[in-house]
Amino acid sequence: MAEFDVEGMFRSLDTDRANVVWKWKLLEELRQAGLRADDPRVQRAVTWTLDAGAPFEPGQPEWLDRDQFAAVVREPVIARALQGDLAVSPAEFAELSRGVEQIYADLRDERSGEVAQYIPTLRDADPERFGIAICTADGQVFQVGDATTAFSVQSTSKPFSYAMALEQQGAPEVHRWIGQEQSGGTFNDPRLSLDANGKPQNPMINAGAMATLALVEPDADVSERFAKVEQTWTRMMGEAPGFDHRTFLAERDTGHGNRGLANLMAAKEMLNVDPRDRDAPQKTAEFYFAVCSLEVDATRLAAAGATLANGGVSPYTGERVFSAETAGRVLSVMGHSGMYNDSGKFADAVGLPAKSGVSGNVMMVVPDQRLAVVTFSPRLDEAGNSVRGVEVCQRLVNDFGLHPFKSLGAERGVEMSDAARRAFDGVSRPGTGSTGRYQAPAPGAKTATRAGELQL
């Protein structure tokens, strides 16, 4: 990053030549770069600086003099935002935000699918809820709709539980207990979840998630183990998750199949528990129910996804939560097994790592662009994935040329249109039909350039 010209930036924001920068003007500039006014880094820098100065009269607009402005821009993310040096440039972030807003508008009338029926809290969810949130590696956020509506994370906890186990035990030990292949069945299929030796097929199915959590702080009391999980989520998101007590109690009362899987693994000595503790499999299942009952929203979950997109570094704190190797392993498994029994179809259509939960959330990570997209919409398809969530992922990939494989070599022999040149350095946004759903281009139509050329 080039040396920051504090005086030059101060003058550019002092538009009325009053030798001050109005607080609202600075926050608007940061907003256009993707940083929200309630971003903890922005709040900390601006609030602390103003609090240290002379108080303002009630109702008086707040402003920063030169010295105060210089203090505020010592916060690195603010300096980089004002220079346009964040993960996504302001112009591109605005273009991406407009695209997401259009996708949201197009899909609001999509009402296919049904909410999950197997526990009351999911069955009673408002099926009309729909929100989308984006978070980049630098904490740039765009949200629309019900992006701050809380939901239980459910199976989208699995990638992060896997990451915790990898960090604590290392990959060889983790994969002594859990496989790395697709199961070929649903997430809770007792026939296909385990191989002949009782080993779960991968960490993204229920059996694999329970085996994974059995490796997280295995020697500690369950309360300490759960506290470790909560702390990891807090480090990723910049704030603590909630906890959905009703969902936990409902899952505990109805989770007989999961307890059965835990017992099967324990019987084959493929669950890392004390064999002398006959209640250990049930305790493992209940630990899993508790982790699935962590409460987040689309915006906070997008920050967790951005941690993976950023190689394990939290977007808000800059703290390394996971190693880059761990983040890569997690994204790889999400890529082939993250979307239940439609994972192969999703990989073909979207080509990016994603994970879904039956509360209606879908988290998709775009590693090349260092960002994550999360949707929340409770109506599910037959595989258990959010109908709108899957459609959002497909639309984003198609509209912005983000599929990592399908546009390989597209720039060779294809002349870009003027519209393509104007949008995202040559990545055009295909039109939508009268229904608002994405329509694939006709055979022979011009295609988008490579996703890797996107300067997001």
- Report the alpha-carbon distance of residue 428 to residue 446 in Å, rounded: 10
- Low pLDDT (below 50) residues in the chain: 1, 413-414, 416-417, 419-420, 424, 426-456
- Annotated binding residue at 310? no
What is the DSSP code string of 31-94?
Answer: HHHT--TT-HHHHHHHHHHHHTSPPPPTTPPPEE-HHHHHHHTTSHHHHHHHTT-SSS-HHHHH
**Please, which residues have CB within 8 angstroms of residue 450's CB and are 6 or more apart in sequence?**
401, 407, 408, 409, 410, 411
Q: Say if CB 449 and CB 403 are below 8 A apart.
A: no
pLDDT given for residue 274 in this prediction:
93
CA 106 from centroid of its chain's CA atoms? 22
- Annotated binding residue at 343? no
What are the Cα distances from residue 252, in Å, to 249, 257, 260?
A: 5, 11, 13
The length of the chain in residues reads 456
- Report the alpha-carbon distance of residue 456 to residue 441 in Å, rounded: 23
- Annotated binding residue at 155? yes
pLDDT given for residue 428 in this prediction:
42
- Annotated binding residue at 358? yes
pLDDT given for residue 371 in this prediction:
98
Q: Say if CB 136 and CB 86 are below 8 A apart.
A: yes
Best CA proximity match to 99, nearest among 302, 455, 393? 393
- Annotated binding residue at 206? yes
Tell me: the pLDDT tens digits for 344-361? 999 999 999 999 999 999
pLDDT given for residue 456 in this prediction:
40
Domain with CATH 3.40.710.10 in the chain: 105-400
Domain with CATH 1.10.238 in the chain: 6-82
- Annotated binding residue at 6? no
- Report the alpha-carbon distance of residue 80 to residue 1 in Å, rounded: 8
- Annotated binding residue at 258? yes
Structure token pair of residue 303: 């920050």
Whether domain 6-82 has CATH 1.10.238:
yes
pLDDT given for residue 81 in this prediction:
96
Instruction: Give the pTM.
Output: 0.87
Q: In a 3-state reduction of DSSP, which class is residue 341?
A: helix
Tell me: the pLDDT tens digits for 434-452? 344 434 334 334 333 333 3
- Report the alpha-carbon distance of residue 385 to residue 116 in Å, rounded: 10
Whether domain 105-400 has CATH 3.40.50.2030:
no
